[in-house]
Structure 1
Amino acid sequence: MSTTQAPAATVEVTAKDCNDNGTVFCPNPKMALWSNHPKVFIDLTHGGQGQCPYCGTAYKLKTGEVLHSGH
């Protein structure tokens, strides 16, 4: 019997989905309520991707998207 887990989801986001500081939050609004964990902010300013430390969901900018500074 195999005990491998399914890979965590990957969520592609646009620059408009990000906060002014280049972060998104997890759990995201599309996640089921039963799967909620404490809200964390995922920083996408370094390489355009990041991963939730709780559920493993990966967040990455869609190809061609560019983050703009809120300053």
Structure 2
Amino acid sequence: MSSEAKAVVEVTAKDLHGEGVVFCPNPKMTLWSGHPRVFIDVATTGEGKCPYCGTVYRLKAGEKLHAH
């Protein structure tokens, strides 16, 4: 197993789509290193991890999610 630290991306409530998900790869990632787009639930626990690249998406401290 690699000991290399994976990227952590802090997201705000405005970054979330639909029911509180983000997608990976995100728009800031380079196209050549892309993988199939996956939707990652961040709203449930405050963070989620991409199963392809290991990037962790974490809700920024103090962010409040709005209920519908």
When normalised by structure 1's length, the TM-score is 0.87
Secondary structure of the corresponding residue to residue 22 of structure 2: strand
Shift of residue 19 of structure 1? 0.6
Q: Return the alpha-carbon distance in structure 2 between the equivalents of residues 37 and 65 of structure 1.
A: 28
The alpha carbon displacement at 1:20 in A equals 2.6
**For residue 4 of structure 2, what is the aligned residue in structure 1?**
6
Q: CA 1:4 to 1:44, structure 2 compared with 1: closer, same or farther past 3 Å?
A: closer
Q: Which runs of at least 4 in structure 1 moved beyond 2 Å after TM superposition?
A: none
**Aligned partners of 1:21, 1:67: CA distance in 2, in Å?**
10
How many equivalent pairs are there?
Answer: 68
1:63 to 36, 61, 64: 61
Question: Highest Rg: 1 or 2?
Answer: 1
The unaligned stretches of length 5 or more in structure 1 are: none
**1:30-59 Cα distance to aligned partner (Å, 9 max, x none):** 001111000000001222100000000000
Identity of aligned residues (%): 62
2:36 partner amino acid: P
Partners of 2:43 and 2:2 in 1: CA distance: 32
